[in-house]
A = this chain, B = another copy of it.
């Protein structure tokens, strides 16, 4: 083992798991410094989420905006792969934790990452504006850069199913209300509209914000982009759980993507014979 003294090694083992989130002693649990029994019944669940993630409690107005965003994204139906995965996993015998795990895992860059990417885009434009750039020019340059690096799908704008996403308008209206009350700066909805305008000029059609209007809220509230994805996961987990539970009650066993009577399409080689020499079996037979 190491030449270090046992005391030193032990301290390193403890420091290996250092955290500023929670402290625990027998009979005592403190979250970000607050005794847990003072928080229970006194703060809302969104306030608690904010406290645990960021270290301080939000105001009630900030928490209300976060709450609206969390409410908005809970579900988008079984055609979403995460929901389909949850239901199929439940039909294989997994409990809710297992079905949720398989499903949440799929909320990755393409399915769950658009909000995070949208937050990064909005934040870069905002940073340019803070450095004195002209707002329209900041949007144009960042869109040019984004498209060059990532292609023509701009995260947060347009939806393959909804021409107008009913969640976005309500979320953006709540941001404007919060701006009027001084809860948030209100600069991010403006950036979003500038992006919509620029996309309309570029593509000749209006691509309004989708569910990732939550990105506007999370940017206004000061969350980093990675936590924006985390908040989406917390929200969509509700739908994932509900669908797993509904599936368990429906009781199908080993549910695949389509009923067994509808076959998949095979596009590989036709039936062929195994070439024994290729498989190396003649020799193998001889060995025995």
Complex contacts, A30 vs chain B, CB 8 Å: 271
Asked if residues A20 and B267 are in contact (CB atoms below 8 Å), the reply is yes
Q: Smallest CB-CB separation from A17: which chain B residue?
A: B264
Known: A47-B279, A280-B59. A230 touches B245 (CB 8 A): yes
* Chain A, 27-73, CB within 8 A of any chain B CB: 27-49, 52-53, 55, 57, 59-61, 63-64, 67-68, 70-72
Complex contacts, A267 vs chain B, CB 8 Å: 18-20
Asked whether any CB of chain B lies closer than 8 Å to the CB of A170, the reply is: yes
Query: Residue A37 contacts which of B24, B169, B272 (CB distance < 8 angstroms)?
Result: B169
Report how far A38 CA is from B170 CA in the complex, Å.
9
Segment of A100-108, A128-136, A138-146, A196-204 engaged in the interface with chain B: A100-108
Please classify how large the interface on chain A is, using the bins under 10, 10 to 19, 20 to 34, 35 or more. 35 or more
Complex contacts, A254 vs chain B, CB 8 Å: 80-81, 110-111
Complex contacts, A95 vs chain B, CB 8 Å: 108-109, 113, 226, 229
What's the minimum C-beta distance from A53 to chain B, rounded to whole angstroms?
A: 5
Asked whether any CB of chain B lies closer than 8 Å to the CB of A234, the reply is: yes
Known: A41-B170, A71-B43, A108-B94. A52 touches B84 (CB 8 A): no
Asked if residues A77 and B40 are in contact (CB atoms below 8 Å), the reply is no
Q: Smallest CB-CB separation from A8: which chain B residue?
A: B6
Asked whether any CB of chain B lies closer than 8 Å to the CB of A148, the reply is: no
Report how far A248 CA is from B109 CA in the complex, Å.
14
Report how far A282 CA is from B232 CA in the complex, Å.
28
